[in-house]
């Protein structure tokens, strides 16, 4: 069963470690700012990794499907 963003937001402390492992260039401050907000995370991935929105969305979908 795929996880949804309400679950991620509700358990952000647990999931933030997995996000940090997946995307190590995100700073602790950025992780705190994201706080389970999918759109902010997509934006941060675009900024940090210099990728387009579609690529950020794809990576995020792959990540959530692996949970």
35-66: pLDDT as tens digits: 999 999 999 999 999 999 999 999 999 999 99
Alpha carbons within 13 angstroms on the beta-carbon side of residue 66 total 10
pLDDT band at residue 3 using 50, 70 and 90 as cut-offs:
confident
Domain positions in the chain: 5-66
Written as six digits, the tokens of 31 are: 């992780």
CA distance 2 to 52: 24
Give the DSSP letter of residue 26.
S
8-39 pLDDT, tens digit per residue, is 999 999 999 999 999 999 999 999 999 999 99
- Kindly report the pTM of this predicted structure: 0.92
Classified by CATH at the fold level, domain 5-66 comes out as Protein Yjbj; Chain: A; (1.10.1470)
Tokens of 34: 């994201």
């Amino acid at each position: 069963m795929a996880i949804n963003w309400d679950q991620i937001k509700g358990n952000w402390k647990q999931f933030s470690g997995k996000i940090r492992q997946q995307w190590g260039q995100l700073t602790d401050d950025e992780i705190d700012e994201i706080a389970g907000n999918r759109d902010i995370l997509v934006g941060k991935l675009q900024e940090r990794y210099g990728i387009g929105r579609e690529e950020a969305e794809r990576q995020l979908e792959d990540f959530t499907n692996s949970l």
